[in-house]
Amino acid sequence: MALAGRRTGPGEGNGRRTVRTEAQFLKCENSACNKTLFVKEVQKHNYCCPACGHHFRVSSRERVQITIDSGTWTELFDELEPMDVLNFQGKKSYQQSLKEGRQKSGEKEAVICGACKVKGIETVFCAMDFKYIGASMGSVVGEKIARAIEYATAKGWPIVIVCCSGGARMQEGVLSLMQMAKTSAALQRHNEAGLAYIAVLTDPTLAGVSASYAFLADVIVAEPKAMIGFTGARVLEQAIKVKLPPGFQESEFLLKHGQLDMVVPRAQIRSTLGKLLTYATAGGARKMQDAAKAPRSRLEFAKAPAQAAASVTGNGQAAPKKKAARRKPAAKKRAAKARAGR
């Protein structure tokens, strides 16, 4: 949220009465509204404009606060921090970008993960923070999300990921792109275990994140007017030389064209997640009985081919199975007893 600047009354610094309104007001970002709002009033409305309903971007901590059950948050994998393994140098060094990201967001990385409860249901919850280098997906972001998915799979819990990102982190090169495959593979194993994944797409969700875990959920929820897509509309228009329709890449447009399951105002996100998780966990418990042997982690998944290979003979043929003893039909048994009685 863009807070209004500091304002003072006349006579500041000369001992006279001073009025301070620093960080007390902000302007609505909706150009059709543009009202000056009291910050505390906006916070009471889940960081939405009370006049027009515009959804301000919120930090990962604020997202946790307004979504999960109070007092149930236990953070996971907070020891992981990004490193400049490529020694990237541009207009600004990667080290400088990381430092600024930590200062702006107060976080070590662009995502926080934790175990919690949502409407009383045990859940793994991840939330991204746009203040940290545009919530770009680097190797640590991908690792934390993959570990969170694997933790949920091992626990037999559903997972909720609140997505907000400009895409892959270019300062990490191909290492950032590899996170798309890693998180997608972890979600596949989670799905094979019969467990639910719900994605909440917020403004903006673009590029590598939208091309991986953001759109792999069982249920895809989005906030109103959120920008969602792969490439920005302006770049796309220049590439295909076609004028895009109004509202292109907004959540309502995507819902109309079948790419989302629902668009839900922020005030109703928590209750909606509670209903979805209640339904998903009721069905998931039954599915778990049939999927108990599914690999639940990268290590188990890697061992699975070796275990399969152990059942193959040296000539590459599958080891022959022992034939089960054939049971005689009941009629044959009765006939045999009759003959024995004679």
Give the model confidence (pLDDT) of 142-201 as tens digits: 999 999 999 999 999 999 999 999 888 888 889 999 999 999 999 999 999 999 999 999
| pLDDT attached to residue 67 | 94
301 within a domain of the structure (yes/no): no
Mean pLDDT of 62-72: 94
319 within a domain of the structure (yes/no): no
| pLDDT attached to residue 316 | 42
| pLDDT attached to residue 13 | 47
| pLDDT attached to residue 330 | 64
Q: Are 259 and 106 in contact (CB under 8 A)?
A: no
Mean pLDDT of 236-251: 82
Which of 264, 288, 312 lies at the terminal end of a domain, its last residue? 288
On whether both 31 and 78 belong to a single domain, the answer is no
On whether both 253 and 148 belong to a single domain, the answer is yes
| pLDDT attached to residue 128 | 95
On whether both 68 and 119 belong to a single domain, the answer is yes
On whether both 26 and 106 belong to a single domain, the answer is no
245 within a domain of the structure (yes/no): yes
- Counted domains in the chain: 2
On whether both 138 and 245 belong to a single domain, the answer is yes
246 within a domain of the structure (yes/no): yes
On whether both 48 and 125 belong to a single domain, the answer is no
Q: How far apart are CA 192 and CA 190, in angstroms?
A: 6
322 within a domain of the structure (yes/no): no
6 within a domain of the structure (yes/no): no
Mean pLDDT of 297-309: 53
| pLDDT attached to residue 91 | 83
**Residue 326, pLDDT above cutoff 80:** no
Mean pLDDT of 101-114: 93
**Which CATH number characterizes residue 185's domain?**
3.90.226.10
166 within a domain of the structure (yes/no): yes
On whether both 175 and 211 belong to a single domain, the answer is yes
| pLDDT attached to residue 234 | 79
Print the domain residue range for 28.
Answer: 22-56
Q: Are 133 and 139 in contact (CB under 8 A)?
A: no
Position 323 confidence tier, pLDDT thresholds 50, 70, 90: low
12 within a domain of the structure (yes/no): no
On whether both 242 and 284 belong to a single domain, the answer is yes
| pLDDT attached to residue 25 | 87
Burial class (CB in 10 A: 0-12, 13-18, 19+), 7: exposed
| pLDDT attached to residue 8 | 39
Q: Percent of the chain, pLDDT > 70? A: 76
Position 86 confidence tier, pLDDT thresholds 50, 70, 90: confident
On whether both 256 and 132 belong to a single domain, the answer is yes
Position 315 confidence tier, pLDDT thresholds 50, 70, 90: very low
Alpha helices in 257-329 (DSSP H): 269-290, 298-309
On whether both 116 and 135 belong to a single domain, the answer is yes
Of 131-145, 216-230, 328-342, the poorest mean pLDDT is in 328-342
| pLDDT attached to residue 103 | 93
CB-based contacts of 228: which residues, under 8 Å, 6+ apart? 201, 204, 205, 206, 210, 222, 249, 250, 251, 254, 259, 260
On whether both 182 and 47 belong to a single domain, the answer is no
On whether both 28 and 122 belong to a single domain, the answer is no
| pLDDT attached to residue 6 | 38
Mean pLDDT of the chain, nearest integer: 81
